[in-house]
Structure 1
Amino acid sequence: MNGNGLSDPFEQRIAAVSPADPLTPADRYQELFVEVQMNRVFADSKTFVDCAPRLHPERILAAYRARCRQPGFDLTAFVTEHFSLFVIPPSHFVADPNCGLEQHIDRLWPVLTRRPIEHPGRSSLLPLPHDYVVPGGRFVEQYYWDAYFIMLGLDQSGQRHLLRSMADNFAYLIDTYGHVPNGNRTYYLSRSQPPVFALMVELFEEKTICRAHDYLPQLRKEYAFWMDGADCLRPGDSHRRCVRLAGGEVLNRYWDDRDTPREESYLEDVLTARDSGRPVHEVYRDLRAGAESGWDYSSRWLGDHRRLSSIRTTAILPVDLNGLLYRLERLIARLSERHGDTACAEDYRRRAEARRAAVDRYLWSESAGAYLDYDWQLERPRPDLTAAMLAPLFVHLASPEQARRVADTVRRRLLAPGGLSTTEIDVCGQQWDRPNGWAPLQWIGIRGLERYGEVELAAEIARRWLRVVGELFERDNKLVEKYVLRPNAEHAGGGEYPLQDGFGWTNGVTRKLLQEDPLHEANRCRSGQPGVCCVI
């Protein structure tokens, strides 16, 4: 027992966390915020929202209002005077040409690890009680779905203490805010990301890191967040993340509680909405919902593949989101049964089976031999094939016959020289589209196919992915956020920001796959020594 009456070290750490600023930068700085972002004081809109004020925000805003109309007012100088940039201490990390890919990743974890320190007063950063790993590049905070794929590699690298500390951070966020935000920033609080906390808990149980039941209260609280309002819906109605379909079934969509430009991409969103010809608040909501999906952005969400302004995320019931919620329902049922709460277990089993039936009815396409997203407003499936169709295999929702059909479709339409294609569309310039490939989708596809005995196809995707990662590592001495799934180690493009180095989920998935295929040539890669992985 300590002086505060707290005996548990975890409780002591939680109690020591400083309170977060309840307001976002846009709320805090109002017209100053708009001027900074619209005049592009910083090249990246995210830079300003990550700054820390040197004075109380109200004093800064008052000073701006007093000076902004004076002759010769310099906005950039004012910002520099009143804000400090969020600066990461230099790591002095240099790729070692004597290290292979596994060793390189192991050396990167400390560089990407953040340890709670004195919290910058009234900044946008949400304080966390435990150490965590960030993706890298411009992403200098903990992100929700990135973390699961990072954890796969941390486990292989012997960093199991970080798995537990990050899990407790997510539990803290759920207890504090009712959900896991997109990232630990105030401007992310209005949305989440794909709900993978259940996957984390299952990983901890598999690795005997902790008891899965310890997180049952947070699992149920997260589920309540995603299902808020579902019980009151009539057929054809929606509320936040829930839609009740004509047959009475409830499925989920991505959403954001705000309908303003994303603060970290303010100017970009304003320009996109101006191009839409739609009410701007609708475009902003759909852009924000697309960010909650993690696929920001993709032809998957667009009415017109060539125009981001045609985005309609909130009209779409995604395959992967509903698969992950099925997995969450099954886990809550299993943990409740294990601990004697049979009524709760039966309730969640019913919910899971109802979701499975709805997925089969609305999201399975017999003609395509694939799972497709469903446009609930137009009452028809989306025609575009995406790698999300493998999520029902990953969460073990598909029947054996459905899995076989999905595998055949992947072989014919999504298998690329460098792994699993994200979509078949490459005309809209968005990053979550062909020709780009992403580590989390490789992992979901590989594991999903393995679960249904499609081991040869799964192994082929893994081999191709490791080759493309290894080739760029040999040439450029780094791992990156996304990859072009073609030979010759091109740098991936598309989207609203440059290619990011680091990179958390690429490190995690690659480290795991290297361990599972120790004879793959990528295990022999050396930075700056091209030649081993150059043939795809």
Structure 2
Amino acid sequence: MTTQSSTQSPFTSTQINAVRTYIKKTWKTLTRSHEHLLQSAKDTKLEHKPGTPWIIYISPREDNPNIQSVLERSLSAEDMRQIEIRTLPPEAEAIREHGLLYLPGSYVVPGGRFNEMYGWDSYFILLGLLRDGEWDLAQSQVDQLLYQVQHYGTILNSNRTYMLSRSQPPVLSLMVLAMFQHTQDEEWLRSAVPLLEQFYYYWVVPPHLNPATGLSRYYALGEGPAPEVLFSERDEEGKSHYERVKEYYQRFEIEDYDVSLYYDRENDELSNLFYKGDRTMRESGFDISNRFGPFSIDIIHYAPVCLNSLLYQMEQDLAQINDILGNEELAQQWRDRADSRRDRMDQYLWDQKQGLYLDYHFQTGKRRHYEFATTFYPLWMGIASEAQAKRIAENLSLFEAPGGIFTSTRVTGNQWDAPFGWAPLTLIAVQGLHRYGYHQEGDRIARKFLAMVIKEFERRGILVEKYDVERCSANVSDEICFGYSSNEIGFGWTNGVVLELLATLA
């Protein structure tokens, strides 16, 4: 895989200003609020019968008539006729007609087919909003996630009813502290603590906890095919993602896991456990890769580097928050938890021979030797020792690409593998390298990514979800064989990371 070194800026201030102007305008087009409710309710990922209203579900803890009244004052009569307000039933399984989950304030969506609020996207969006001085919108972005925990039980993959059963990588504490650093509002910070703790415990008790290791895993709570996948993730021949998976299982021998757990070859049927793994892979945010075997279906049997790094950071963040609020004893308890998690990560996830953090299969008791850019998370969060960071920095050539960072070292036809690169993983690698003093390497990666994004912006006039970082191109659809192959325009987290990297290099 190609690398190059450069200390000179590969882009001009004029080019940067053009991208900044685009991003500033895009925050407005990506913002959803009461006045955009009809626009928010529309969902291209599910089939919708023309002429029928778009459904919006209100938390049963809310005052439905009051919200209805608020919406009637915010929306035109024509818009109100095209939506239907319902109270969310106590059990998600009781929902027969899916819809948007109501949020009371403004929020930024990623863009394109992702016309709703996403969990971990929101952190990188927040960084951009703060860099761009969008203080009120940034505050509201965090508040909507806190609202989700309070009213829907956790931060959701997105605020659609078909995603009530799965979350996304836990970045809430990072967002709360980033917002507090701007506002210094201790009363707000104090009010967030119970919700932060509720979200934390979602991840550290079964089924998300693996008791044998004391580490956590991703584990979606829903059953059966994901509705949005059945309808929207189809190829040019109209085959769904699940149909393509079955064809793959028919054609190829799988050595990564016991395929009989997930596929009945005789009857050509995917098992219930397959769909559990498929939903869980989507909870991880990395949909799709071969990181946990083909289609990452075996993810439910792994303690992942990324999730446990984020939980370590959440423990450290809760320690810091309690320090700010004067709760020294509680702060120490959270630090002790973080120290314990670091020890477990050293035991199970650090691979001394490879010099990388690797995901741990807790049934086989082995790490999966699949080089993935999540190895930079422990640097990003300050978990790694100086010696471990040095080993990872020495392995940078595994991941370094002409356009930044390869997601993995394998080309699989999945978008979360090579040759693709993503803004969040680029920022995580850059900030992780900087944290341990590898400034030249971090700056080099940042320049490469920005040069690619700016070049493609000049060619197309847009920022997008992902890039081919080998060819430095936004044209990726022909290379993606599974899941959805489109490259969505916007794009929330790319906007945020571009602004953050520009600040890093300033």
Q: Which TM-score tier does this pair reach, normalised by the shorter chain? A: 0.7 to 0.9
1:350 equivalent to 2:350? Answer no
Q: Which runs of 5+ in 1 are unaligned?
A: 1-95, 229-238, 519-536
Q: Distance in 1 between matches of 2:475 and 2:15?
A: 21
From 410, 427, 434, the counterpart of 1:443: 427
Aligned residue number for residue 407 of structure 2: 422
1:365 equivalent to 2:351? Answer yes
Q: Distance in 2 between matches of 1:348 and 1:477?
A: 46
- The Cα shift of 1:517 comes to 3.0
1:299 equivalent to 2:290? Answer yes
Compared CA separation, residues 471 and 354, structure 1 to 2 (3 A): same
What's the CA shift string for 1:360-399, capped at 9, x where partnerless?
A: 0000011111111111111100101111001011111111
Compared CA separation, residues 488 and 419, structure 1 to 2 (3 A): closer
1:290 equivalent to 2:281? Answer yes
Compared CA separation, residues 414 and 98, structure 1 to 2 (3 A): closer
What's the CA shift string for 1:104-160, capped at 9, x where partnerless?
A: 111111011111246532451011011000000000001010011011111122111
Matched residue SS, 1:354: helix
Matched residue SS, 1:478: coil
Aligned residue number for residue 394 of structure 1: 380
1:500 equivalent to 2:488? Answer yes
- The Cα shift of 1:345 comes to 2.6
Aligned residue number for residue 117 of structure 2: 142
* Identity, % of aligned positions: 38
Compared CA separation, residues 171 and 342, structure 1 to 2 (3 A): same
Letter in 2 for 1:174: V
1:271 equivalent to 2:243? Answer yes
| Matched positions, count | 403
Q: Distance in 2 between matches of 1:98 and 1:322?
A: 36
Aligned residue number for residue 66 of structure 1: none
Q: Distance in 1 between matches of 2:182 and 2:375?
A: 28
Aligned residue number for residue 70 of structure 1: none
1:105 equivalent to 2:23? Answer yes
Aligned residue number for residue 462 of structure 1: 446
Letter in 2 for 1:243: N
Matched residue SS, 1:100: helix
Bigger relative CO (Cα 8 Å, ≥ 6 apart): 2
Compared CA separation, residues 174 and 340, structure 1 to 2 (3 A): same
Q: Equivalences for 1:154-169 in 2 at 5 Å?
A: 154-169=129-144
Q: Distance in 2 between matches of 1:503 and 1:334?
A: 32
- The Cα shift of 1:213 comes to 3.5
Compared CA separation, residues 260 and 108, structure 1 to 2 (3 A): same
Matched residue SS, 1:468: helix
- The Cα shift of 1:515 comes to 3.5
Aligned residue number for residue 523 of structure 1: none
Answer yes or no: is the 8 Å Cα contact 1:164–1:209 preserved in 2. no
Matched residue SS, 1:301: coil
Matched residue SS, 1:344: helix
- The Cα shift of 1:287 comes to 0.6
What's the CA shift string for 1:29-70, capped at 9, x where partnerless?
A: xxxxxxxxxxxxxxxxxxxxxxxxxxxxxxxxxxxxxxxxxx
Q: Distance in 2 between matches of 1:490 and 1:353?
A: 41
Q: Distance in 2 between matches of 1:142 and 1:164?
A: 14
Q: Distance in 2 between matches of 1:153 and 1:367?
A: 38
Matched residue SS, 2:371: coil
Answer yes or no: is the 8 Å Cα contact 1:260–1:284 preserved in 2. yes
Matched residue SS, 1:489: coil
Matched residue SS, 1:164: helix
Answer yes or no: is the 8 Å Cα contact 2:402–2:472 preserved in 1. no
Aligned residue number for residue 67 of structure 1: none
- The Cα shift of 1:98 comes to 12
Answer yes or no: is the 8 Å Cα contact 1:393–1:452 preserved in 2. yes
Matched residue SS, 2:34: coil
- The Cα shift of 1:272 comes to 5.5
- The Cα shift of 1:351 comes to 1.6
Compared CA separation, residues 402 and 282, structure 1 to 2 (3 A): same
Structure 1 moving runs of 4+ over 6 Å: 96-99
RMSD: 2.0
Matched residue SS, 2:150: helix
Answer yes or no: is the 8 Å Cα contact 2:241–2:483 preserved in 1. no
1:377 equivalent to 2:369? Answer no
Aligned residue number for residue 201 of structure 1: 176
Q: Which is worse superposed, 503-512 or 356-365?
A: 503-512
Letter in 2 for 1:281: N
Q: Distance in 2 between matches of 1:334 and 1:104?
A: 36
TM-score by length of structure 1 reads 0.72
- The Cα shift of 1:220 comes to 0.5
Answer yes or no: is the 8 Å Cα contact 2:358–2:375 preserved in 1. yes
Compared CA separation, residues 107 and 490, structure 1 to 2 (3 A): closer
What's the CA shift string for 1:461-497, capped at 9, x where partnerless?
A: 1000001101111111111100011345351232422
- Which structure is larger by alpha-carbon Rg, 1 or 2? 1
- The Cα shift of 1:339 comes to 2.9
Compared CA separation, residues 508 and 172, structure 1 to 2 (3 A): same
Compared CA separation, residues 98 and 358, structure 1 to 2 (3 A): closer
Compared CA separation, residues 98 and 324, structure 1 to 2 (3 A): closer
Answer yes or no: is the 8 Å Cα contact 1:394–1:448 preserved in 2. yes
From 203, 217, 220, the counterpart of 1:256: 220
Q: Distance in 2 between matches of 1:161 and 1:216?
A: 21
TM-score by length of structure 2 reads 0.76
Q: Which is worse superposed, 118-127 or 320-329?
A: 118-127
